[in-house]
Structures are given as structure tokens and as C-alpha cells.
């Protein structure tokens, strides 16, 4: 087969676009993290500039990029009006009920929902980069098990290792216990799974003379960013850098890529670089604006942690009543919860 046709790498758009915006952000974040001061790699300190870049401009912004594939798409919204309306309502009701039980119950539920979303994204990209391969079923299983191991082992380590200087949303949102035996067993399984993948990948190279470059960059980038961010380093800045960049930028890039294809707005089709750039600025500007407004409300009404970033929002009342917060916090979290739940539907075949 390899001798009959030239093997074409399964890029989603191009080698340059995929590498810069999907495959390499996590690895580049790792290189940047290596040069951070030890304070940011092994303590809970997070500089304001780091929070703005990573949380405001990437993490929260990627949530709002979903709008361009759902509520901002008139035709798609018309076809899925019931689902797009019912999911936010259900998320809000569930959030209010959980927060009324306890704040920790709410944040813990949201944290595990977010984890599921992050893990599934890596599997989804693995599937995308394997879409053109004619592989035996057992190889597909090996790929899936390996990408899940790349994300799940660091999470198991986190749950079995008290004393991490970071959390997903708030302190204590993960259930953590000191379980060294579980850590050890999980590590050996992790190493074995990766080793099996490598053996079969080398075998395919020898047998067929082909090597799926984007799929392997994705896999080993996931291995590196998740392991280093959670297991090797123990700092809030390092974790956020490796967690958010490797997830948020590829997600936004995929939304942009599909939006561009559906609208036929490539440079060649439109014949105007200016139009292409204008479209990109609108996309980025909208998600950053929504991100800033949401985080401003969070900071003004609830957290009061970044007043210098949101000076106008500091004029809002600082709310502490549990009854008020049980309504406000789920409401402010609604873009995230809706994003997590909708994401389980908008990438399925048949959802167009």
C-alpha cells in the first residue's frame, strides 16, 4: 500500500496552521514553563499578568468561542433550537440545586465536568488525526487507551497526592487522599501502555513505511504537558500554563477552522486578505470582550482578587449572602457549564 501511493499527512488545514495552533501550543508552553522562576513552578503564586493571559484571554475566552458554532450560527441554532435552549436551563437549575446544598458540591461537580471535557478533547483530536487511516480495530483501541492514559495517569496521581499547590477551580474541589500504592500501580500501567503504543507504532513504520506525524505530535504533546503540569511541577502557574494553553488554543483554532470552512472565507475563496484578517479580529474581539465582562462580574461581585484588572467592576457590591450566591454563582458559571455540556453534542456526526 505504501508503495502504491504517497502517504499524505492528515492535517486538518495545513502543516503550518495545525502545528502553530493545535499541536504545538502545549509543547511551547512547556518550554516557556521551564524558564519560569521556581516560585511559579513549585508554589501557589500566580502573577497578575499570568492570570490575565492564561485565564482571561485563553481559558475563559475559549468557552465563548463555542458561540460561533452554536448560538451565533443562525441556521444551526434553528435546527437545534430546543437543545440549545434546554441545556442552559438545565445547567442553571442543576447548578442552583448543587450550590444550595453546598458551595463545595457545586465546585466539585463543575471541576469533574471540566476534567471530562478536557480529557475528551484530546481523544477527539486523536480521532481527527486518525480519520484517514485504515487501521485494524486493535490499533484504534491502543490509540484510544494511550491518549486516555496520557491524561488519566496525571489525574490519578493528583487524586492520590495531597499537597498539590493548585486546584481546578477552588481549593478542595478534587477528592484527594494519600495513596502511594495506587500511585505506583497507576505509574506502571501508564508506562506499559505508552511502551505498547511505541512498539506498535515502530512496527507500522517498518511494515508500511508510514508515520502519522500530527497524531504522534498530539499524543506526545499530551503526555508531556499533562505529566509535567500535574506530576513533575507543583505550582499554580505551571499547572495553569500547561493545562490551559494545551486545551484552549487548539479548541479555539478548531472552532475558527470549521467556521472558516463553512463560510467559505479562506483567503483564496474570498480573494481578500483584509477580509480574512477582519474576520479573525471579530472572532478574537468578541470572545475576549465576553471573557472580560464575565470575569469582571466575577471579580466585582464575588472574588475581589484582580481589582486592578477590573477597576470599573469594583464599584459593584461584594456579595456574600449564601442565598444570593446560590443563584449568582451558577448564573455566572452558566457559560462554562453550557460549554462543557454542549461540547458533548456539537462534534458528533449528524450535528450540523
Q: Does residue 72 surpass a pLDDT of 90?
A: yes
Residues 6+ apart with CB under 8 A from 180: 160
Rounded mean pLDDT of 314-320?
Answer: 95
pLDDT value for 305: 95
**Is 209:4 a contact under the CB 8 Å cutoff?**
no
**Is 67:285 a contact under the CB 8 Å cutoff?**
no
Neighbours of 150 (CB within 10 A): 27
**Is 122:150 a contact under the CB 8 Å cutoff?**
yes
pLDDT value for 236: 97
Within 13 Å of residue 97, how many CA atoms lie on the same side as its CB? Answer: 7
pLDDT value for 37: 96
203-252: per-residue pLDDT in tens?
999 998 889 999 999 999 999 999 999 999 999 999 999 999 999 999 99
Residues 6+ apart with CB under 8 A from 30: 224, 225, 228, 242
pLDDT value for 132: 83
- The values of phi and psi at residue 303, to 5°, are -85, -45
DSSP 60: I
pLDDT value for 261: 81
Question: What 3-state DSSP class applies to 100?
Answer: helix
**Is 266:76 a contact under the CB 8 Å cutoff?**
no
**Grid coordinates given for 154:** 496525571
- CA 67/CA 13 separation, integer angstroms: 21
148-177: per-residue pLDDT in tens?
999 999 999 999 999 999 999 999 999 999
Rounded mean pLDDT of 81-96?
Answer: 97
- CA 346/CA 68 separation, integer angstroms: 11
Q: How many residues does the chain have?
A: 352
- The radius of gyration of the chain from alpha carbons, rounded to an integer in Å, stands at 21
- Would residue 42 be called left, alpha or beta, if left means φ above 0 and alpha means ψ between -120 and 50 degrees? alpha
- Confidence class for position 266, pLDDT limits 50, 70, 90: very low
Rounded mean pLDDT of 97-113?
Answer: 97
Q: Is the pTM of this model over 0.85?
A: yes
Amino acid at each position: 500500500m505504501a508503495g502504491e501511493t504517497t502517504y499524505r499527512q492528515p492535517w486538518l488545514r495545513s502543516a503550518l496552521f495545525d502545528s502553530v495552533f493545535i499541536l504545538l501550543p502545549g509543547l511551547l508552553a512547556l518550554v516557556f514553563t521551564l524558564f519560569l522562576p521556581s516560585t511559579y513552578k513549585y508554589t501557589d503564586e500566580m502573577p497578575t499578568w499570568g492570570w490575565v493571559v492564561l485565564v482571561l484571554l485563553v481559558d475563559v475566552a475559549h468557552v465563548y468561542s463555542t458561540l460561533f458554532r452554536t448560538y451565533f450560527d443562525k441556521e444551526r441554532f434553528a435546527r437545534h433550537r430546543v437543545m440549545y435552549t434546554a441545556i442552559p436551563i438545565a445547567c442553571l437549575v442543576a447548578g442552583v440545586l448543587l450550590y444550595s446544598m453546598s458551595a463545595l458540591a457545586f465546585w466539585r461537580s463543575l471541576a469533574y465536568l471540566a476534567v471530562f471535557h478536557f480529557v475528551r478533547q484530546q481523544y477527539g483530536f486523536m480521532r481527527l488525526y486518525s480519520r484517514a487511516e485504515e487501521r485494524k480495530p486493535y490499533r484504534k483501541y491502543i490509540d484510544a487507551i494511550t491518549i486516555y492514559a496520557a491524561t488519566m495517569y496525571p489525574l490519578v496521581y493528583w487524586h492520590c497526592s495531597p499537597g498539590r499547590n493548585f486546584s481546578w477551580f477552588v481549593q478542595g474541589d478534587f477528592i484527594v487522599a494519600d495513596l502511594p500504592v495506587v500511585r505506583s500501580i497507576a505509574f506502571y500501567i501508564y508506562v506499559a501502555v505508552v511502551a505498547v503504543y511505541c512498539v506498535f507504532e515502530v512496527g507500522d513504520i517498518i511494515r508500511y513505511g508510514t508515520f502519522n506525524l500530527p497524531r504522534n505530535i498530539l499524543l506526545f504533546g499530551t503526555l508531556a504537558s499533562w505529566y509535567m503540569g500535574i506530576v513533575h511541577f507543583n505550582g499554580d502557574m505551571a499547572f495553569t500554563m500547561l493545562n490551559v494553553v494545551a486545551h484552549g488554543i487548539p479548541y479555539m483554532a478548531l472552532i475558527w477552522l470549521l467556521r472558516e470552512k463553512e463560510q467559505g472565507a479562506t483567503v483564496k475563496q474570498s480573494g481578500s486578505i483584509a477580509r480574512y484578517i477582519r474576520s479573525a479580529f471579530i472572532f478574537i474581539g468578541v470572545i475576549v470582550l465576553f471573557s472580560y465582562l464575565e470575569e469582571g462580574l466575577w471579580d466585582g461581585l464575588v472574588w475581589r482578587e484582580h481589582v486592578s484588572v477590573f477597576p470599573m467592576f469594583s464599584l459593584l457590591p461584594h456579595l456574600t449572602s449564601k442565598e444570593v450566591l446560590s443563584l449568582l454563582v451558577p448564573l455566572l458559571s452558566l457559560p462554562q457549564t453550557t460549554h462543557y455540556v454542549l461540547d458533548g453534542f456539537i462534534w458528533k456526526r449528524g450535528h450540523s
